[in-house]
Amino acid sequence: MATLIAPTRSNLMKVKDELSFARLGYELLDQKRGILVSELLTLVDQAVDCQNRVERALIDAQRALQDAVMHMGRLRLGNLAGAVGISSQIELGQRRVMGVVLPKVHTTYSGEGPFFSPEGTSVLSEVALEKYREALTLMGQLAELKVSIMRLSREVKKTIRKVNALEKLVIPDKEETVHQLTQRIEEGERESFVLLKSVKDRMEREEVGDGSSIH
């Protein structure tokens, strides 16, 4: 690259400014990488824990449903389920981590119990219903974590590529360019100094010679 740039002081200053900017960009991106990786590892730990909780919640909900079926019978429980007036809403929000938009999921339910009566039904149906609501809420949290992990992972990869490009390509290239330009400018200045000194010495000799010829 250096061979394509004229060895002038202005070009040298321009490349030095570009080098300073590249170094600053590297520092900022390296800090961003560290923050993103830290956040990513935290979310991965949370996702593992949430995944386990979801699996346990689904198992508990399935067991509660089986208990209700055993106690009430499948037909009666099915009729009760058709009469239950519960609706769910999923509210989506967002937060930002170093410019990366991450989702926030909040699950709400409308409709209050009890959804059973003393005549031929059982409180087990209410237990099963509550267990499934807990499981669905946890599944919303798990979805939030998994999407966040995917987005952070993509951003971490992009940031790492930029950091590596600056560290291994851009900054070394700018440093080499500065070095070569500095050498060529100094060499040119030395050559100019030698040339000027030679011209000065010649002029002085000519003046001395002219003075001798007059006498």
Residue-wise pLDDT for 121-171, tens only, equals 567 777 888 898 899 899 999 999 999 999 999 999 999 999 999 999 999
- Cβ neighbours of residue 210 closer than 8 Å, sequence gap 6 or more: none
Residue-wise pLDDT for 66-98, tens only, equals 888 888 777 776 666 665 666 778 888 999 999
d(CA 160, CA 29): 8
Residue-wise pLDDT for 173-198, tens only, equals 999 999 999 988 888 878 777 777 77
Phi, psi of 60 (to 5 degrees): -60, -40
- pTM for the model stands at 0.74
Q: What CATH number is given for 10-177 in this structure?
A: 1.10.287.3240
Q: Domain residue spans in the chain?
A: 10-177
Cβ atoms of 40 and 159 closer than 8 Å:
no
What is the torsional sign of CA 21, 22, 28, 29? positive
